[in-house]
Amino acid sequence: MQAEDSMVSVYGHKVRVSVRPAEGQPSGTLLIVNGIGTRLDTLDGLVDHLDPSTEVIRFDPPGIGGSKSWGIPYGIPMMASAVAALLTKLDRTEPVDVLGYSWGGVVAQQLALQAPRRVRRLVLLSSNTGVLSVPGSMQSMAMMFNPLMAQASHGDDKAIGEIYGGLARSRPDEVRALLKADLESHGQGLMLQLIAAMTWTTLPMAWFIWQPALILAGTDDPMVPLVNARILAEQIPAGRLHTHAGGHLDALLDPGTFGPLISKFLLK
């Protein structure tokens, strides 16, 4: 079923939201929190391969895509509160499943900590615990802090593979097509996301997350090394680690594999 876009006011700021309605007998709602600097559209392929009985809600973070920038720094707890407020605005009062991709995984963990009754299950995809996590490669980290370097790096096939690993090593043209709009629009929104990521960690509190959590991580992910997923799996009592041989973008480059895997966890 076709997703519907709208602008929703959260804390006085306009947020672009996309809702894919469930087909047939609804099985629940999945809220997706994007990765750093990533518009909701970048996850279109993955959403298309999720079970159609699942309603899927996505949004652009402040200053990214169609959402207006807040203009001031915010922390991960503030973003988690905004996500909860967004669910209220959308009249979603029942617990929802939450998928956090990369940066979004930290927000998803914080939401489960701050508003545990709003979260049914977690999917943490290529994510970590925030500032106290094991950092990625120098090239990957430098790219996030320098948009001009990011654009230059994505013009080089080898650099794309070294930044993202996995399928990106053999499919650089697909990576460029996937991230083209994101790379062209980096600005204040990206920097605010970086500030939030650098000033918060869920590490001391992750063991309070009681929801079942599927932790998906690649063994060839230069941006978020596998050890971070192992830490999450050890800290979250009901966390289950699923590793794959790919990298940071494999779920987006091979959604036909990852979509059903995620749905299987959410529907069981």
How is the chain classified by DSSP, letter by letter? Answer: ---EEEEEEETTEEEEEEEE---SS--EEEEEE--TT--GGGGHHHHHTS-TTEEEEEEPPTTSTTSPP-SS---HHHHHHHHHHHHHHTT--S-EEEEEETHHHHHHHHHHHH-GGGEEEEEEES---BTTSPP--HHHHHHHH-HHHHHHHTT-HHHHHHHH-GGGGT-HHHHHHHHHHHHHT-SHHHHHHHHHHHT-B-TTTGGG--S-EEEEEETT-SSS-HHHHHHHHHHSTTEEEEEES--TTHHHH-HHHHHHHHHHHHH-
What is the pLDDT, as a whole number, of residue 49? 98
- Is the pLDDT at 152 greater than 90, yes or no? no
Q: Give the pLDDT confidence of 96-112 residue by residue, as tens digits.
A: 999 999 999 999 999 99
What confidence tier does 154 reach under pLDDT thresholds 50, 70, 90? Answer: confident
- Is the pLDDT at 147 greater than 80, yes or no? no
Provide the annotated active-site residues. 102
What is the pLDDT, as a whole number, of residue 184? 81
| % residues pLDDT > 70 (the chain) | 98
pTM higher than 0.85: yes
- Is the pLDDT at 186 greater than 70, yes or no? no
